[in-house]
Amino acid sequence: MRWQGQQVGATDADALPGLERLTGLVRSVTTPEFAGMTFHEVAAKSALNHVPGSSAMPFDWTVNPYRGCSHACVYCFARGTHTYLDLDTGRDFDSQVVVKVNVAEVLERELHRPSWAREHVALGTNTDPYQRAEGRYRLMPGIIDALAASGTPFSILTKGTLLRRDLPVLQRAREHVSVSLAMSIAVYDDELQKAIEPGTPTAQARLDTVRAATDAGFRVSVFLMPVLPHLTDSAAALDDALARIRAAGAVRVVYGALHLRPGVKPWFMQWLAREHQELVPKYLGLYPGAATSAPKGYRQWLAGRIRPLLRAHRLDGRDEEEPVRARPVSPSVAQSVRTTASAATAGRSLFGDDAVTLVPVRRGPGPVRSTGRTPAIAPAPQPLF
C-alpha cells in the first residue's frame, strides 16, 4: 500500500500531471485488492452539481462521488471529463479514480440550506456510484440518508451489483421521498461484454440485481444502451435482451444508439480495430469525421426494430431522444410542492415513474414547439447500414 499527499493541499512532485494541483487532495492509495488502480482521495468543497440549462438531461442536479470508473467501458461518454485533470481518456480514466471521501457530509450541509428547493437529484449520470471503489469507501449510504432526510427525491443509474447491499437503505429512504432505480445493461453476450466492459459485472448478475430490487418493491428501469451497430442491434440480440429484462421484473426500457463523444471516439476506434477490424469501415461510415451520433436513418431504423419487440414483451419503453423534461412549475405550485416530503415526489424522475406534462428537450437554437404527438417513424432500409 502506498500513501501520498497526507496533508490537505499538499503538493506531491511525484503525482500524475494535473493531480498535484487537485484541490483538496488528501492522499493517493494503491492496494493489491484493486491491482492496477490508484484512488485519489479528495476533500470536496461541494457535492451538488447544477446541470446547465442548455443540457438535454431531464434533471437539474446531480451528485458524483467518483471521477473515473473501474468499469472501463470502452464507449463511456464520461471519458472526456478526465482531461480536466490532465489525465487521458483511456487507461487513466479506467485506473485513476478520484474519490470524494467527504461527499456525504458536504451534501448534508448543502441540502439544509434555506435556498434548497428539494429538486430531483440524479446519481450515476456521469460515473457509476456503485463501481468497485464503493465497496471500499461506502459513500452511497450516507448520500442516500442525506437526500431522504432533507425530503429530496432522487434516482440512481448504475451497472454495479453493489446496489443490492443498499436496498434496505433505499427502502427506508422511499418512506420519505420518491426513489427511482435503473440498471444499465447494454451487452448480453458474455464474450463481448468482457471485451468492451471488462470491469463490469456480467449481464446476468445485473439482471439478478434488477430482480432483487423488484422483489424489494421498486419499479426498476433498464437502460438498453448504447446499442452497438453490427454488434448488438440484430433482431435476435434485441429480442433476447428484452426477454431477459422482462423475466428479471423490470417494467421499463430506455434505449439508444451508440454516441462517440470527443475523447471517447479515438479510444473506441482503437478497440474496434483490435477486436473487430472488419467493422471499422462501417463505423467510419456511420460516424464520419467529428460526428458523435449515429445518423438519423440508423436511429429511425433501430426504433422501428425495437418498438415491436417492446410490445411483444409487454415492456414500457422509450428512445433516449424522446422528450422527458417536465414543464417549469409556477412559483405558487413550487412552494406547495416543497411543503411536505411526500409532495416532493411530484417531480418527474429520470426514469419516468411519475406522470407529468412533457415538453421536447431543447437540442439547438430556436423555439421549442410540440404537437403533443409522437411522430410515426418509418424504418430506413437495413442495407444502408
Q: What does the pLDDT look like over 10-57, one tens digit per residue?
A: 444 444 444 444 556 677 777 777 778 888 898 889 999 998 776 666
Q: Can you give the pLDDT at residue 120? A: 95
Q: Can you give the pLDDT at residue 54? A: 61
Averaged confidence pLDDT in the chain: 79
* C-alpha 277 chain-centroid distance: 28
CA distances from residue 145 to 29, 174, 181, 230 in whole angstroms, order as listed: 27, 10, 16, 43
Mean pLDDT of 145-173: 97
pLDDT bucket at 375, cuts 50 / 70 / 90: very low
Q: Is the pLDDT of residue 118 over 80?
A: yes
- Stated length of the chain: 385
Q: Lowest-confidence range among 84-98, 178-192, 290-304?
A: 84-98
Q: Are 45 and 23 in contact (CB under 8 A)?
A: yes
Burial classification of residue 14, based on how many CB atoms lie within 10 Å of its CB (0-12 exposed, 13-18 middle, 19 or more buried):
exposed
Q: Can you give the pLDDT at residue 84? A: 57
Q: Can you give the pLDDT at residue 203? A: 98
- For 35, other C-beta atoms within 10 Å of its C-beta total 8
Q: Can you give the pLDDT at residue 335? A: 39
CA distances from residue 29 to 5, 14, 74, 98 in whole angstroms, order as listed: 10, 13, 24, 10
> Strand 48-50 to strand 38-42: parallel, antiparallel, or no bridges (unpaired)?
unpaired
Mean pLDDT of 204-228: 97
pLDDT bucket at 380, cuts 50 / 70 / 90: very low
Q: Is the pLDDT of residue 271 over 60?
A: yes
pLDDT bucket at 87, cuts 50 / 70 / 90: low
Q: Angle at Cα 276 formed by Cα 273 and Cα 277, nearest 5°?
A: 50
Strand partners, 317: 253
Q: Can you give the pLDDT at residue 51? A: 84
Q: Is the pLDDT of residue 344 over 70?
A: no
Dihedral angle, C-alpha 178, 179, 182, 183, nearest 10 ° = -170
Percent of the chain past pLDDT 90, that is, above it, reads 57
Helices 140-149 and 167-174, packing angle to 10 deg: 10
Q: Is the pLDDT of residue 290 over 80?
A: yes
- For 240, other C-beta atoms within 10 Å of its C-beta total 14
> Could you tell me the pTM of the whole model?
0.78
Q: Is the pLDDT of residue 265 over 50?
A: yes
Any idea which residue has 471485451 for its cell?
Answer: 195
Name every residue whose Cβ is closer than 8 Å to that of residue 365 and which is 6 or more positions away in sequence: none
From CA 220, how far away is CA 238, in angstroms rounded? 19
Return the exposure string of 78-104: e unless at least 16 CB atoms fall within 10 Å of the residue's CB, then b. Answer: bbbbbeebebbbbebbbbbbbbbbbbb
